Amino acid sequence: MQIGVTLPLADGDTAHSRTPTFGETLAFAQRAEAIGLDSVWVFDHLLFRFPGEPEGAVREAWTTLAALAPVVPRVELGALVMCSSFRSPALMAKMAATLDDLSDGRVILGLGSGWHDPEYEAFGYPTDHKVGRFADDLEITARLLRGERVTFQGPWRSVTDAVLLPPPDRRVPILVAAKGERMLRLTATWADAWNTAWFGRVDDRLRGRMAALDAACDAVGRDPATIRRTIGIRLHDPGTGQDDPTGLDAGAAGLADFLDELAALGVDDGLVWSISKSVSSLERIGEARRLHAARSATMRG
């Protein structure tokens, strides 16, 4: 199983009170690569506004991935996930193909329907029919990245004779974050990978979501084994997250045990959102990956 980590981009992601600089994001990504992790991921938000809380700042996700590509040369570069409402689907496909060329074929285009209405309203995006709009966006983006010339007229989006020129050098993989029945069917129809989050244990909630993906694949006639399955892990520093039912409070050994369980369940990637973006937390994830890899090698041997 491959292991990835989300990068510091927002207020609260570092020990400082300010938003992380690109230098801090870069240093974290380079260290993640150096200790052997397989992928780095960005969240896609424009701002955070929650009742009774100060406004939250965040850097723009796609610009950050583009800046990282030439200076973090090995790991996969992913979005967990790009909000389809923020960029037109044909432009999103063009951006993904360009970044995939820039990074020598390391992009995973994560897409989702979005959820945080205040950022939609602040930046002038409609908040209604998120899944319906996403269905149009996903089909257009997927077909373009598969090399099609696309004319499409949907309820929310339309393109006329759209094509990616130059064409992508490969089929850029699309990951969809989904848990509801309609979103899972869209995933089964168009996506190469699937994400569900957040977890800190293998429980009935996780088993149920895995089974729901299988059912969606059956409904559209797709082999469930052809979808890359990724699980978001919310990781707390030891002793700081015992009350989080969707997170893991553990050291390296405990995280490695969870990775072993996920691998046995058929998960392909564990994507770790470490609440602390400290160097020590990153080293703990790296040690967990090494423990998990050693156990997996022993079992294969």
* Mean pLDDT (whole number) for 95-122: 98
Model pLDDT, residue 15: 75
Structure-block tokens of residue 69: 């590509």
Q: Closest by alpha carbon to 205, among 197, 194, 216? A: 197
Domain CATH code at residue 60: 3.20.20.30
Q: Closest by alpha carbon to 133, among 97, 80, 92, 167? A: 92
**Distance in angstroms (rounded) separating the CA atoms of residues 231 and 83:** 18
- Asked whether the beta carbons of 198 and 247 are under 8 A apart, the reply is yes
CA distances for 177 relative to 64, 120, 291, angstroms:
20, 19, 28
Q: How confident is the model at residue 279 (pLDDT cuts 50, 70, 90)?
A: very high
**Strands, E assignment, the chain:** 2-6, 39-42, 76-79, 82-83, 107-112, 150-153, 158-162, 174-177, 193-199, 228-236, 248-249, 269-274
Model pLDDT, residue 14: 83
- Asked whether the beta carbons of 186 and 134 are under 8 A apart, the reply is yes
* pLDDT value at 17 more than 90: no
Q: How confident is the model at residue 249 (pLDDT cuts 50, 70, 90)?
A: very high
Express each pLDDT in 196-231 by its tens digit: 999 999 999 999 999 999 999 999 999 999 999 999
How many structural domains is the chain composed of? 1
Average pLDDT, the chain: 96
* pLDDT value at 38 more than 80: yes
**Distance in angstroms (rounded) separating the CA atoms of residues 225 and 132:** 27
> Which residue type does 214 have?
D
Q: Where are the alpha helices (DSSP H) in 148-273?
A: 181-190, 204-220, 252-265
pTM of the model: 0.96
Model pLDDT, residue 16: 73
Q: Which domain holds residue 245?
A: 2-300
Model pLDDT, residue 162: 98
Q: How confident is the model at residue 18 (pLDDT cuts 50, 70, 90)?
A: confident
Model pLDDT, residue 8: 97
Q: 69 by DSSP, 3-state: which?
A: coil
CA distances for 19 relative to 15, 22, 122, 276, angstroms:
10, 10, 19, 14
Q: How confident is the model at residue 172 (pLDDT cuts 50, 70, 90)?
A: very high
Model pLDDT, residue 136: 98
* Mean pLDDT (whole number) for 20-45: 97
Structure-block tokens of residue 143: 């077909």
